[in-house]
Amino acid sequence: MASMKFTSCALLCIWIFIGVASAQLTTNFYATSCPNVLPTIRTAIDTAVRSGQRRMGASLLRLHFHDCFVNGCDASVLLDDTANFTGEKTAGANANSLRGFEVIDNIKTQVENLCPGVVSCADILAVAARDSVVVLGGQSWAVPLGRRDSTTASLNAVGGNIPGPGQNLAALLTAFSNKGFTANELVALSGSHTIGQARCTTFRNRIYNDANINASYATSVRANCPQSGGDNTLSPLDVTSPIAFDNAYFGNLLTRRGLLHSDQELFNGGSTNAQVNRYATNPALFLTDFANAMVKMGNLSPLTGTNGQIRRNCRRTN
């Protein structure tokens, strides 16, 4: 009985803590202190994605994901290495892979000119991810704001927190459950692979060795990804509409045309099959669920109040 009471109390305390952290994030956080921050970010993203590289939208979305899944949404992923720590940029899941740092730098410079020392890099990442989705045709959502930036980063913290392209469904479910996400939210967030590209090294084993792959699709992808060499050659994650944020990714899974092993695991006779089917046939449901899951992800362990700092330069601490 005492153990049960302790467990109940512990769970209650945890939920109270999470509620307090989340409550400190508000969608109008900068309404007075920096009222033009959102239009400024939106314009910069529109320029970088619509007028620059469409792929950059996917890169910025991924940057936010890789930030939040390692010690929370604190912009630690943006920090360059220093004499005191080796940051996250050179970790296996990030090295030669994460992109968009210069876009964030540009936005930060503009925002600092507007409102010096007010808007965090972590909030810029969250808004940039949302705006990237919108530019590419996805649904918008209100981004809760008020995060602060970390004062350190750790390469070792990345290991085990970022799901890998070769993972099976059980590992994916565990990785997302560890962050508080349901199986349906795992599927929704995986739908971000409706945009962007992946390097040959991340899907080579799938296109040459997996059995659950469409034969003609495998042949077409092999043309750009040889069995040896060409590790950095790119292929679209969504072969149907690679620069449109839509539900085509799920239709690809139904026809065994998922690029990554981890993609196809979502539709491979397991517990997530039904949700993939739902999203493949109901684009509105996917877009709504994705937006809700992104808000939830943005609430992963934010630094608020007096914790952390507002970096003046996103690549280094003040």
Q: Centre a 10 Å sphere on the Cβ of residue 65 and count the other Cβ atoms it contains.
A: 20
Could you tell me the two tokens for 107?
A: 């936005």
Q: pLDDT digit string (tens) for 2-25?
A: 444 334 444 444 444 444 444 489
Q: Longest Cα pair distance anywhere in the chain, in angstroms?
A: 64
Residue range 80-102: average pLDDT? 95
Whole-number Å distance between alpha carbons of 4 and 61: 41
For the CA atoms of 261, 267, 268, 273, the dihedral, rounded to the nearest 10 degrees, stands at 150
Q: Is 66 a catalytic residue?
A: yes
The answer to whether 267 and 276 have CB atoms below 8 angstroms apart is yes
**Residue 1, pLDDT above cutoff 60:** no
The catalytic position among 64, 66, 193, 261 is 66
pLDDT value of position 160:
87
Average pLDDT of the chain?
93
SS3 144: coil
Q: pLDDT digit string (tens) for 151-186?
A: 999 999 999 899 999 999 999 999 999 999 999 999
* Number of residues in the chain: 318
Q: pLDDT digit string (tens) for 265-286?
A: 999 999 999 999 999 999 999 9
Q: pLDDT digit string (tens) for 44-88?
A: 999 999 876 889 999 999 999 999 999 999 999 999 999 999 999
Q: Considering the entire predicted model, what is its pTM?
A: 0.91
Radius of gyration for the chain, computed over Cα atoms and rounded to the nearest angstrom? 20
DSSP letter at 50 equals I
